[in-house]
Structure 1
Amino acid sequence: MPSRKFADGEVVRGRWPGSSLYYEVEILSHDSKSQLYTVKYKDGTELELKESDIKVSAPSAHRACSYEVGGLNCPIGGTQTTRESVQVALPLPRPLPLPGRPAKSSRRSASASHHVDIKEMRKEVLEVKLTPLVLTPFGNSINRHNGEPEQRGSPSSERGTTCRTGARSYCGSILYDKEEQFPLSQESSYTYTQHSLRPRREESKFKKIDLEEEKIVTKGPTSLRTFEVTATQTKDLEFGGVPGALLIMLGLPALLFLLLLLCRQREPGLLHFPPPLPALSDLWEAIVFGAYLLWFSVQALFYSLPIGKVVEGTPLADGRRLQYRLNGFYAFILTSAAVGAALSWGVELCYVYHHFLQFALAALVFAAGLSVYLYVRALRAPRGDLSPASSGNAIYDFFIGRELNPRIGTFDLKYFCELRPGLIGWVVINLVMLLAEMKLQNRAAPSLAMILVNSFQLLYVVDALWNEEAVLTTMDITHDGFGFMLAFGDLVWVPFVYSLQAFYLVLHPNHLSWPLAALIVALKLCGYVIFRCANAQKNAFRKNPADPKLAHLKTIHTSTGKNLLVSGWWGFVRHPNYLGDLIMALAWSLPCGFQHALPYFYVVYFTVLLVHREARDERQCRRKYGVAWDQYCQRVPYRILPYVY
C-alpha cells in the first residue's frame, strides 16, 4: 500500500477542480483506500483531492535573495551577518474570482472555470515599492501561520523570510536544514518560481511585465541601485550564550580537579573542604604528557588501520555523505592485547594512579591545544562546512566548535575523539584502579564493589563500540561543531570523571553483601535492557521502516515524509534510552555505599546532562516535525520518567 505524502494539519496548496489554479489549503484527513485527501480552503470549503493535485506551499531555497541592477542576486547567508541589497517588493495580486464556488459548502467534488482580469492584475503588478530586505532573526524556532506551527515545505517552514514579487516568491535568510541540521553550502543555491495563479497561455504576457519592472528599477537613482544594508542576524545561543560558554570552559576543569582532590582524601567532607591544593609544579610532568601523547597516537594508529566496514554518514547540506570506518571494537581488542602484554612484561600500571592528577592536567592541556588548532583551521573553512551551532562569535564558536566535520585527509578528528582515546581510556583507568586497590589494601583479589563497577562500565563501553554506527546520527556528529566542548568532554571529562567510582573505592573500600550485589546487578540489567532495546528499535526503524518485524508498531506521519514511532519503547516515554542510561548510572554508584556523596556526583551530573539534551531534542524535533510532533507529545506525554517527568 503506498504511503501518504502529506500529514494531517499540514498547510499546502491544492488545485481547484476543473482549473489550473492552486490555493492554500489545510490537510484534514486521508483515506487510505481511495487515496484521497480531504482538504479545507480558507473560505471553509472542504474537497477531496488526489495527491497529484496537491503541492507543498513553496520549496525552500535557503537563500537571501533580492533584486539588484541587472537581475537577481542570491548571496549565501552567513551564520552571523548577511549582506542584503535593495529589493523590489510588489504586492501579490488579489485572489482570482472562482465562479460557482459558494462561500461555505460541505465536502464535494466540483468543476469550475476561471476568469482573469488582466488589466486589474497588470495595474497591481506595476505598483513598485522599494523596500530594504528584512531577514528573519536567526533564533526564531517556530514560524506561525494562522496561529499554528508551520510545516516543512511551507513558505517559511525553513525559517526564512519570504519576499513576494507578483506571483514569484523568494526566500531570505538561511539557518540550517532541519532534516539533518546542517548548514547550507553554495552548491545549494537556486531560485525558483512559486506556483503561479496565472493560466499558462498568459505567462508570455507577464514576462513582458517583468521586463518593464526591471526597466523601472534600473531607471531609478544611482544611490538606490547601489544601496546595500548590512543586517546582523541574531541567534539563540545554547548553554547560556557567551557568558555560559566562558563559565563552562573555566568552571568544569576546576570542578574536575576538585573532585579528584576530594577522592584522594581519607575523610572527604565539609570539615576538610577545600582540600589542600598541590603546587602547580607538582601537577606538571613532561614524562606524563609524553605518555599521554603516546596513548593518543596509538589510538590514532588503530583508527587508521584498514579493518572494519566502511559506512556513510547522514547527508550533508550539499548532498554528500562522508565515509566512516567502523573499527572501534577492533581498536578495543588491540588495546586490551597491548595492556595484557604490558602486564606480562612487568610494566607498573599503578604509575597512572599515583600520577592521576598529572595525567588529567596533561589531557586538559592537549584538549585546549587541539581546540585552538580546530578554531584556527575553521577560520579558512568554507561556509558550507561550518556547524549549524556556530554563531560568528569567537568565544562561543571556540566553545561549541566552528567546523562541523574537521578532517585531515580521511582522518575525521571529531569522530575519532568521540569513541576512541577517552572511552577506551576510561576502561584502562578502571583497570588501573582495580590493581591499585589490590596493592594499597593488600588484597589478593579485588573487592566485590570494585568488580561490579568495572564490569558495569566495561559492558557500557563495549556496547558503545560494538554499536559504533549509532553515533553517526547523534547531535554531536550531525549538529555540534568540534570545539572545546567536545574536545574537553571526550578527552578529559569522560575518562577522568566517569571513572570516579573506581577512583573513590581505592581509598574508601565498601563491603558489599551478595544479596545486595544481586539487587544492584538486577537494576543494572533492567537499565541496560531498556537502553539497548529502545536504541535497537529506533535504529531498525530508521534503516527500514517497512521491516515486517516492525509492522506492529504505530506511527504518526510527518510533513518530512518520515514517521514518528508512537508505540513500543517510544510509546512508553519520549526518550526511553535516556531512562535506561539514568538507571545504569545509579547502578554504577550503588556499589560505593552511602558513606559519602562523591560517588553519586555522576548520577546528578548525568541527570542534568540528559534533561538538557532532551530539551535540545524537543526544540529541534518541534522545528522539524511541527504539528506531527505536537500530536506525538499528546500521545506520549512523559519525556523521560513515566508519571514524573
Structure 2
Amino acid sequence: MGNSHQSRFSTDIHIPYGTQQASQERSVTMPATKYQTGDTVMGRWPGSSLYYEVKVLRFDTRSHLYTVIYKDGTELELREQDIKTASGFQTRSRSRSRSRSPGRRRSRSRSPARTTRRSSSRTAAAVAAAAITESAPSTRRDIKLKDTLEVRLTQEDTKAAENNSNNKHEKKEENNTASKVNEKSEAKVEAEPVKNRYNLRRRKDDGDAKPAESQPEQPEDKEATVAAAPASTSLDFGGKIGAYFWLLFLPAWVLFVILQVNLEDPSLANFPPQLPPLEAFWDAQALGFVILWILFQALLHVLPVGKLSEGMPLRSGERLKYRTNGLFAIVASAAAVAAAVYQGVDLTYIHSRFLQLATATLLISVLLSIYLYTRSRYAPSDQLALGGNSGNLVYDFFKGRELNPRIKSFDLKFFCEMRPGLIGWCLINFAMALAEMKNQGLDAPSYAMILVNLFQLLYVVDGLWNEEAILTTMDLMHDGFGFMLAFGDLVWVPFTYTLQAYYLVGHPNPLSLPAVAAIVILKLAGFYIFRKSNSEKNAFRRNPSDPKLSHLKTIPTATGKSLLVSGWWGVVRHPNYLGDLIMALAWSLPCGFNHLLPWYYMIYFIILLVHRDSRDMSDCRRKYGSAWDKYCRTVPYRIIPRVY
C-alpha cells in the first residue's frame, strides 16, 4: 500500500482468444454487431489517425468495445467508430508524395529528412516521447527510421488553427474541402498546450504492419475527443468477493498485530491476542492528535516552497502539476518535533496510545474513502481510473474510481501517498526510541533501535528527495484513489512499518559491533541497487532522448514504447524490487530471531512484490504481445537472479 519506493499496495488479465464457433453461439442471444469474430478489418491506432490491419477477436456488449489483435500479437480494445472495412482506404506511396510541387510547404514538411515544421515544437515532441515510453529509452545509436516516432500535434482549437499564417497560405492553394481538413490537422502548436492531444505514428513501419491512410473525414470528426474510461472487466485482489474480504481483513489485521506485539511473549503460540474492552480502542485526544498532524502536513504541502513538477500525460494529453516539496516538509516536521520535545511534550504518548492512534487514523481513512467514492459518482468519465470502474459499489469503493481527485490544485492522492503516513512513520520510530530509553532505563537507544531508525529514515528521506519519481509509478498513473490507497497510506504504512521499532521497546535485542557492521553493509547494498535502478528508469521516462542514457539497450514494441534490457534492468525484470527486499531484510535483522513478528514486514513485502510482478506480467503481455515474449527470454528472472 503506498509506494514502491513508493510501492506498497497497489493489473490487467490477458483475455484468451475467441473463436468463430463461440461467436456464432453468442449471436443467438446477443444483438447483431457490425463486425464479427474473425473479420479482418482496419483499426485505428489509439491516439493517432493511422489504421492498421487487425483481426476481430470479440465484442463486449457491456462496454461496446471490440477486442482486436494486431499482427505482432498486441491486443487492444477499440470503439466501433475506430474500425473500418478495408475498402475506402488509400495507401500512401512515396511516388505520390514526391510528385507534389517542391514549392509546397505542406509536401516538404512530410519528408522524413525535413525538420522545419517539427523544429518549432521540438520541446513538445520530447515531452510526448517521454510520455509514451514504458520502462526504457531508445538509444541514440540505435535510432533508425524504422523505430523512430514522429510526434504530430493535432490542434483542437479551430480558431487557433485559422490564425496560423502558413495554414492560411496553404488553404488558398488547396481547392477541395478534404485538403483543407488535412491542412487544419497539421497546424502548428499554439500557446495553449492543454487543448492539444498527441498523435503518435511511425515514420516507417514493418512490412507486415503497414499503416493505411483513411479517406478524409468530415470536419466534425476531426474534433479531438477524450476516450471515456470503459467499464473494468479485469478485477484485481479476488474481484468483487475479494473486495469484501480485504475491507474487513486489513483493518482487523492491523489492530490484531498491534495487540500481539504488546504481549510479553508475542509468539505465534499466543496468537490471536485477547481482545480488550471496546473503550480501549478509542481516545478522543488521539483523534485530535491525528487530525492536527494531517492538517500540519497539508499546510506544509501547500506552502509555495519547492518546485511545481509535471505528472505523466493523462488520456486527454493533459499533464497535472504537483508541488514537490517533500524534503522541506520533513525538515520542517523535524524542527516542529524538536521544538515540542524542548517544550516538554512527552512523545512516549505515541507508544502508550498506539492502538488508539491507529483506530483514529482508520476512522479518518474510512471517512476519506466515502468522500472519494461519493465525489467520483459526479466525476467526468474520462477522469475515472481504468481499473476501478466495474459498476460494483464495494469493489469500486475499495479500488478507487477517480484517478486524480483534486480540491482545486490540491491533489489528494499525491498528498496522502507522500506526507502524513510517510513522515508519520519517522515520527513514530523516534517516539519508540524515546519509549525504549524510558522503559529499559537506558541513557541512549540500543544499537538495534538506532539501526532501525536510521535505515527507515534514510528510506523516507530518499523518497522525499526523489519525490518526482512517484509521478511515474503505478499508484499515481493507473490506480484510482479509494479505500485501498487511503487506508494503505494513512494506516498501513505508519502502523505496520514501525513494528520493528515497536517490538524493540519491549523486547530488546543486543547487537555486537561486527553484527552492526554486517547489517549496515547489507543495507547499503540494497539501497544502492534500489536507487540506481530506479534512477535509470525514472530518468528515461522523463527524457528518453537524454544522451547520458544512449548506452542502454532496449526492445521496441508495436505501441512505440521500449523495454529496457541493460543496466540493472538486464539482470532481473524488477531490480528495484530486489533492492527493496534486501533493505527489508536489513530492517528485520536487528530484531533477532526470537519471534516471527518483527519479520512480518519482510514476509508481507515478499507477497506484495510477487503479486505486483504478476500484475505487471499479465498487463505487459496483453499490451506488448510478441515483444514482451522476447523481453522475457532476454531477461528470464523476475526479482532474484537465478532464483525467481
TM-score scaled by length of structure 2 = 0.69
Residue 76 of structure 2: aligned partner: 157
Deviation string, structure 1 residues 451-475 (Cα, Å, up to 9, x no partner)? 0000000000000000000000111
Alignment of 1:310-389 (within 5 A): 310-389=308-387
| Pairwise CA distance, 1:137 | 7.5
Q: Is the 8 A contact 2:231 2:391 kept in 1?
A: no
Q: 2:271 aligns with which of 270, 273, 292?
A: 273
Structure 1 counterpart SS, 2:309? strand
Structure 1 counterpart SS, 2:563? strand
Structure 2 counterpart SS, 1:612? helix
Alignment of 1:435-514 (within 5 A): 435-514=434-513
1:639–1:136 CA distance, 2 compared to 1 (3 A): farther
Larger radius of gyration: 1
Q: Is the 8 A contact 2:231 2:386 kept in 1?
A: no
| Pairwise CA distance, 1:538 | 1.2
| Pairwise CA distance, 1:275 | 1.4
Q: 1:257 aligns with which of 251, 255, 258?
A: 255
Q: Is the 8 A contact 1:292 1:362 kept in 2?
A: yes
Deviation string, structure 1 residues 566-608 (Cα, Å, up to 9, x no partner)? 1111001000000000000010000000000000010010011
| Pairwise CA distance, 1:399 | 0.2
Is 1:135 matched up with 2:60? Answer: yes
Give the residue type in structure 2 aligned to 1:621: C
| Pairwise CA distance, 1:549 | 2.6
Alignment of 1:75-94 (within 5 A): none
Q: Is the 8 A contact 2:500 2:587 kept in 1?
A: yes
Deviation string, structure 1 residues 364-416 (Cα, Å, up to 9, x no partner)? 00000000000011111110111111112111100000110000011000000
1:595–1:549 CA distance, 2 compared to 1 (3 A): same
Residue 608 of structure 2: aligned partner: 609
Give the residue type in structure 2 aligned to 1:380: Y
Q: Is the 8 A contact 1:527 1:584 kept in 2?
A: yes
| Pairwise CA distance, 1:561 | 2.5
Q: Distance in 1 between matches of 2:347 and 2:338?
A: 11
Q: Distance in 2 between matches of 1:551 and 1:196?
A: 32
Q: Distance in 2 between matches of 1:157 and 1:443?
A: 63
1:195–1:469 CA distance, 2 compared to 1 (3 A): closer
Deviation string, structure 1 residues 406-453 (Cα, Å, up to 9, x no partner)? 000110000000010000000000000000000000000100000000
Q: Is the 8 A contact 2:232 2:386 kept in 1?
A: no
| Pairwise CA distance, 1:159 | 5.3
Give the residue type in structure 2 aligned to 1:384: D
Is 1:167 matched up with 2:91? Answer: no
Q: Distance in 2 between matches of 1:354 and 1:93?
A: 68
Q: Is the 8 A contact 1:91 1:165 kept in 2?
A: no
1:634–1:383 CA distance, 2 compared to 1 (3 A): same
Alignment of 1:504-583 (within 5 A): 504-583=503-582
Residue 634 of structure 2: aligned partner: 635
| Pairwise CA distance, 1:187 | 10
Unaligned regions of 5+ residues in structure 1, if any?
1-83, 96-132, 151-155, 170-177, 208-231
Residue 414 of structure 1: aligned partner: 413
Unaligned regions of 5+ residues in structure 2, if any?
1-29, 42-57, 90-130, 135-193, 200-209, 219-229
Residue 40 of structure 1: aligned partner: none
Q: Distance in 2 between matches of 1:454 and 1:91?
A: 59
Structure 1 counterpart SS, 2:60? coil
Q: Distance in 2 between matches of 1:435 and 1:141?
A: 61
Residue 589 of structure 2: aligned partner: 590
1:138–1:618 CA distance, 2 compared to 1 (3 A): farther
| Pairwise CA distance, 1:565 | 1.6
Q: Distance in 1 between matches of 2:213 and 2:454?
A: 67
Alignment of 1:384-399 (within 5 A): 384-390=382-388, 391-399=390-398
1:248–1:311 CA distance, 2 compared to 1 (3 A): same
Q: Distance in 2 between matches of 1:559 and 1:305?
A: 43
Residue 153 of structure 2: aligned partner: none
Q: Distance in 2 between matches of 1:439 and 1:332?
A: 25
| Pairwise CA distance, 1:158 | 4.1
Give the residue type in structure 2 aligned to 1:433: M
Q: Distance in 2 between matches of 1:596 and 1:302?
A: 39
Is 1:237 matched up with 2:229? Answer: no
Q: Distance in 1 between matches of 2:322 and 2:343?
A: 35
| Pairwise CA distance, 1:86 | 7.4
Structure 1 counterpart SS, 2:76? coil
TM-score scaled by length of structure 1 = 0.69
Structure 1 counterpart SS, 2:308? strand
Query: How many corresponding residue pairs?
Result: 476
Residue 301 of structure 1: aligned partner: 299
**Greater Cα shift, 254-263 or 620-629:** 620-629
Q: Is the 8 A contact 2:553 2:566 kept in 1?
A: yes
Q: Distance in 2 between matches of 1:548 and 1:473?
A: 21
Structure 2 counterpart SS, 1:157? strand
Residue 102 of structure 1: aligned partner: none
Q: Distance in 2 between matches of 1:622 and 1:250?
A: 32
Give the residue type in structure 2 aligned to 1:573: V
Q: Is the 8 A contact 1:520 1:587 kept in 2?
A: yes
Deviation string, structure 1 residues 305-352 (Cα, Å, up to 9, x no partner)? 001011111111111111111111111011000000001000011111
Q: 1:285 aligns with which of 280, 283, 286?
A: 283
Q: CA RMSD in A?
A: 3.4
Q: Which has the higher helix share?
A: 2
Q: Distance in 1 between matches of 2:553 and 2:197?
A: 35
Q: Between the two proteins, what is the percent identity of the paired residues? A: 55
